[in-house]
Amino acid sequence: MTDPHDLAARIRYVLVRTSHPGNIGSAARAIRTMGFARLELVTPHRFPDPEASALAAGADEVLAKAGVHADLVDSLAGSSLALGLSARRRGVNLPEISPREAAQQVLAAAARGEQVALVFGNERTGLENEELARCHAMVRIPSVDDFSSLNLSQAVQVMAYELRVAMLGETPALPPVRDEPPADAARMEQFYVHLAQTLDEIEFHKGREPTTIMLRLRKLFQRAQPDERELRVLHGILADAQRMAGLAKRN
Cβ neighbour number for residue 11 with a 10 Å cutoff:
26
195 binds ligand SAH (CB under 6 A): no
**How far is it, in rounded angstroms, from Cα 77 to Cα 86?**
21
98 binds ligand SAH (CB under 6 A): no
89 binds ligand SAH (CB under 6 A): no
**How far is it, in rounded angstroms, from Cα 209 to Cα 216?**
13
> Least Å distance between CB 130 and ligand SAH?
14
Residue from 72, 83, 135, 155 that binds ligand SAH (CB under 6 A)?
A: 155
**How far is it, in rounded angstroms, from Cα 78 to Cα 10?**
10
106 binds ligand SAH (CB under 6 A): no
Residue from 72, 141, 195, 231 that binds ligand SAH (CB under 6 A)?
A: 141
Cβ neighbour number for residue 207 with a 10 Å cutoff:
5
Pick 22 or 226: Cβ nearer ligand SAH = 22
Size of residue set near ligand SAH by CB under 6 A: 18
**How far is it, in rounded angstroms, from Cα 126 to Cα 124?**
6
Residues 6+ apart with CB under 8 A from 66: 24, 28, 39, 40, 41, 47
Pick 101 or 123: Cβ nearer ligand SAH = 123
121 binds ligand SAH (CB under 6 A): yes
Q: Which part of the chain contacts ligand SAH (CB under 6 A), choosing from 133-141, 163-171, 172-180, 216-224?
A: 133-141
DSSP state of 167: H
Q: Which part of the chain contacts ligand SAH (CB under 6 A), choosing from 28-36, 120-128, 184-192, 200-208?
A: 120-128
**How far is it, in rounded angstroms, from Cα 95 to Cα 41?**
25
Binding site residues, ligand SAH, CB under 6 A: 85-88, 120-121, 123, 126-127, 139-141, 143, 148-150, 152, 155
